[in-house]
Amino acid sequence: MQKKIPLRKCVGCGEMKEKKEMIRVLKTPEDEIILDTTGRANGRGAYICNNSDCLKKAIKNKGLERSLKSQIPEEVSIRLQKELG
Ligand SMILES: [Zn+2]
């Protein structure tokens, strides 16, 4: 029996992948942009593959901004780059 695994779309490369292979960036109900390392926080999430190329693409094509309908603060970009570097 095959279990259906929910897939998420990367805002960088646009591929569908398993959540565990991705990093979630979240907009909280307070409109804060955070890196959700637990995958459980409430809010609107955007997903990026766990690699720095996809992060670069997501920043370049504004995929994160579009997906979260928010500016991504500089410190969040920096933190993401550290996480994925
Ligand atoms: Zn990707």
Structural domains in the chain, CATH included, are 7-84 (3.30.1230.10)
How confident is residue 2, by pLDDT bands cut at 50, 70 and 90? confident
10 CA from centroid of ligand 1 (Å)? 5
| pLDDT, tens digit, 9 for 90 and up, residues 31-65 | 899 988 777 788 889 999 999 999 999 989 999 99
9 CA from centroid of ligand 1 (Å)? 8
Residue 42 has φ and ψ, to the nearest 5°, of -80, 150
Q: Are the C-beta atoms of 40 and 26 separated by less than 8 Å?
A: no
76 CA from centroid of ligand 1 (Å)? 18
Residue 17 has φ and ψ, to the nearest 5°, of -140, 170
pTM of the predicted model as reported, rounded to 2 decimal places: 0.85
Nearest-CA neighbor of 10 among 60, 53, 54, 42? 54
